[in-house]
């Protein structure tokens, strides 16, 4: 976006002012038996801090420890201690004014059952994760396509700039389809209210943390989707955004205090230079611009050094896991957050939910850069506790493999080198690997819709170490690039709307090429699900020669061999070179075709690959 020069308070004149319709608590409620039992409740409402005689609570097991008044009298922050003996019920927060008093209800609930088995399960290398942009996947409830009172009233599928009407019910309706593909976990782009005035399809500009966007179906639809997924043995990953909010968030239109956000004399955008965070020679000024600059003008940057902001965000994360039963977090724009704050937030979640997983968007260039933001083996002053990054380095590598000629550092050698540097990660099996997502060109377009190249890349995705993530529609070869706009990689999944003339969710609705890709993904994904070698085994790669790359996934039960030809001519590959892993086996089964042959040599056309299970 074009840079603008505007002060924070001047910026407020461009947005709608605060409209009071009652006093609200954030979090909206809490639970008994939580490890996080010292809860800071933000109470928001007209002049709430002006209660002359203060605030009182009379509820067994709940103690008002401290009342915190801040710059804006429309806020008061109440520190509550919730004892282990506390019973579920409604706490009455009594606001004692000079001549009258009134109560604000705050509910204490019983915790959900099944922690670690039915929710907060985390995703692992055993999973196949599927990324969905809800507005563009399937419309299951037309009654919420437009919601009166919300700023964005567009509904036009003929342009990528407007809303299209997809929702959570639409996703719930397609769970059987996703299971038939081999999917075990869903990651949705943000579902939280995004009451902005345009480009609201992506959801990354929150306006109320404690409200699921009603155009997606609201809290009820999200509860129903998560519960339905869990009943089918599937997991749910929520997209977290800690770095920024939307310009219409209530804490921006009516800020609790000036330093709730990062302030600058004039609008200052981040420099996007992640290197400044670990560069031993970095300028402090450059560091500050990277860490505290705003991502874009319409997404104000939150000040994590402010303890009230930190509590607000950490408690919301804990609240969301308990309220909806999600299994993990994908954390947006990880490098732009205050990293010590992120360590605190990650630890709070892990302490409460030991199996919960978190992976952060690390859109950077270079293995050292990427590994800095996750658990690593470096002896450096700052140590991140993030479990895993989104592995952009292997994405750049597989892109080179499919688009550049073989060379000493180019083509398949870039993949070999990227994986050879896995020693920097504490556990590279947790890295999330992918071919594309909602921000970058669809990989089928990257390879110029070459089906064989695409299938080769899919073979890599579903057999390499890590947690594979697939972007919706990739299984039918959806296309799109970010030029001229990222909306073009966010097209509708045809068949998700009742007016669609074809239904790509069915084999009958797909053409031959689409079914070829779909079947390729499904066959390998289902095999992968039951393959101990791929999901939990070790990896061994051999130095690429003349564009040929061979690697193995193996354990004491199974050996899987992947053979890839990235040269421009057909290759006959003698397998004797790989005796270190093939000794003791006599046959190999082609997982892609089902054919079993002798373990001797393989003939592969250009940019082809095969996945084999070795047989004794």
**Cβ neighbours of residue 149 closer than 8 Å, sequence gap 6 or more:** none
pTM across the whole model: 0.95
Question: Could you say which residues of the chain have pLDDT below 70?
Answer: 1-21, 115-116
Which pLDDT does position 15 carry in this prediction? 38
For residue 484, cis peptide bond before it (omega within 30 degrees of 0): yes
Catalytic member of 239, 322, 332, 400: 332
- Rounded to an integer, what distance in angstroms lies between the CA atom of residue 215 and that of residue 222? 11
Helix (H, G, I), strand (E, B) or coil at 554: strand
Res 115: pLDDT = 65
CA atoms within 13 A on the CB side of 522: 15
Sequence-ordered list of residues with C-beta below 8 angstroms from that of 582, at least 6 positions apart, any chain: 559, 561, 575, 599, 614
Output 401-404 pairs: Cβ under 8 A, ≥24 positions apart: 401/457, 401/460, 401/564, 401/566, 402/446, 402/447, 402/453, 402/456, 402/457, 402/566, 402/607, 403/446, 403/447
Domains for the chain: give ranges and CATH numbers.
17-109 (2.60.40.10), 129-530 (3.20.20.80), 539-615 (2.60.40.1180)
301 is catalytic: no
C-alpha span between 178 and 172 (Å, rounded):
10
Q: Is the separation of the CB atoms in 467 and 124 below 8 Å?
A: yes
Q: Parallel, antiparallel, or unpaired: how do β-strands 129-132 and 185-188 relate?
A: parallel
CB atoms within 10 A of CB 528: 25
Answer yes or no: are the C-beta atoms of 33 and 61 closer than 8 Å.
no
- State pLDDT tens for residues 494-528: 999 999 999 999 999 999 999 999 999 999 999 99
| Catalytic option among 152, 361, 400, 613 | 361
In this predicted structure, what is the pLDDT of residue 510? 98
556 is catalytic: no
DSSP string for residues in 140-182: S-GGGSS-TT-S-----TTSTTS-----HHHHHHTHHHHHHHT
Cβ neighbours for 63, distance < 8 A, ≥ 6 positions apart: 57, 80, 81, 83
């Amino acid at each position: 976006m074009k840079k603008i020069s505007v002060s924070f308070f001047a910026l407020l004149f461009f947005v709608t002012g605060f409209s009071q319709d009652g006093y609200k608590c954030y979090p909206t409620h809490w639970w008994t038996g939580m490890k996080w039992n010292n809860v800071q409740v933000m109470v928001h409402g007209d002049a709430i801090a002006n209660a002359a005689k203060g605030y009182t609570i009379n509820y067994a097991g709940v103690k008002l420890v401290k009342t915190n008044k801040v710059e804006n009298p429309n806020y008061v922050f109440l520190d509550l201690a919730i004892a282990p003996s506390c019973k579920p019920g409604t706490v009455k927060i009594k606001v004692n004014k000079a001549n009258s008093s009134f109560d604000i209800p705050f509910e204490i609930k019983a915790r959900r059952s099944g922690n670690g088995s039915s929710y907060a399960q985390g995703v692992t290398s055993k999973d196949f994760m599927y990324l969905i942009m809800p507005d563009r996947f399937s419309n299951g409830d037309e009654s919420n396509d437009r919601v009166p009172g919300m700023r964005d009233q567009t509904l036009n599928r003929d342009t990528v700039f407007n809303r299209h009407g997809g929702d959570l019910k639409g996703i719930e309706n397609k769970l059987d389809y996703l299971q038939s593909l081999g999917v075990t976990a869903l990651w949705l782009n943000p579902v939280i209210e995004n009451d902005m005035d345009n480009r609201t399809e992506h959801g990354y500009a929150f306006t109320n943390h404690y409200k699921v966007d009603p155009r997606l179906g609201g809290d009820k639809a999200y509860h129903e989707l998560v519960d339905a997924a869990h009943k089918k043995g599937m997991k749910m990953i929520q997209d977290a955004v800690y770095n920024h909010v939307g310009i219409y968030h209530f804490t921006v239109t009516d800020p609790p205090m000036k330093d709730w956000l990062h302030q600058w004399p004039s609008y200052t955008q981040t420099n996007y230079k992640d290197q400044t965070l670990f560069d031993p020679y970095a300028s402090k000024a450059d560091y500050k611009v990277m860490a505290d600059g705003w991502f874009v003008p319409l997404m104000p940057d939150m000040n994590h050094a402010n303890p009230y902001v930190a509590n607000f965000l950490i408690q919301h994360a804990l609240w969301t896991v308990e309220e909806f039963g999600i299994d993990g977090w994908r954390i947006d724009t990880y490098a732009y957050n205050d990293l010590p704050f992120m360590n605190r937030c990650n630890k709070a979640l892990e302490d409460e939910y030991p199996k919960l997983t978190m992976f952060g968007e690390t859109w950077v260039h270079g293995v050292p850069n990427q590994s800095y933001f996750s658990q690593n083996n470096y002896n450096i002053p700052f140590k991140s506790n993030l479990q895993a990054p989104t592995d952009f380095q292997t994405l750049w590598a597989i892109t080179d493999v499919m688009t550049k000629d073989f060379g000493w550092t180019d083509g398949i050698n870039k993949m070999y080198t990227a994986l050879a540097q896995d020693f920097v990660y504490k556990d590279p099996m947790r890295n999330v690997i992918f071919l594309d997502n909602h921000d970058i060109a669809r990989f089928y377009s990257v390879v110029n819709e070459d089906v064989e190249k695409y299938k080769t890349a899919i073979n890599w995705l579903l057999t390499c170490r890590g947690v594979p993530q697939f972007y919706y529609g990739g299984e039918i070869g959806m296309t799109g690039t970010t030029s001229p706009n990222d909306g073009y990689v966010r097209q509708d999944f045809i068949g998700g709307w009742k007016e669609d003339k074809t239904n790509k969710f069915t084999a009958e609705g797909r053409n031959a090429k689409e079914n070829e890709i779909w079947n390729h993904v499904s066959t390998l994904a289902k095999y992968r699900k039951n393959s101990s070698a791929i999901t939990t085994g070790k990896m061994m790669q051999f130095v690429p020669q003349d564009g040929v790359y061979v690697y193995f996934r193996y354990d004491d039960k199974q050996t899987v061999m992947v053979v890839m030809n990235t040269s421009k001519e057909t290759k006959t590959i003698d397998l004797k070179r790989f005796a270190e892993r093939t000794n003791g086996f006599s046959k190999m089964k082609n997982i892609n075709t089902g054919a079993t042959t002798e373990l001797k040599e393989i003939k592969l056309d250009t940019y082809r690959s095969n996945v084999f299970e070795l047989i004794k």
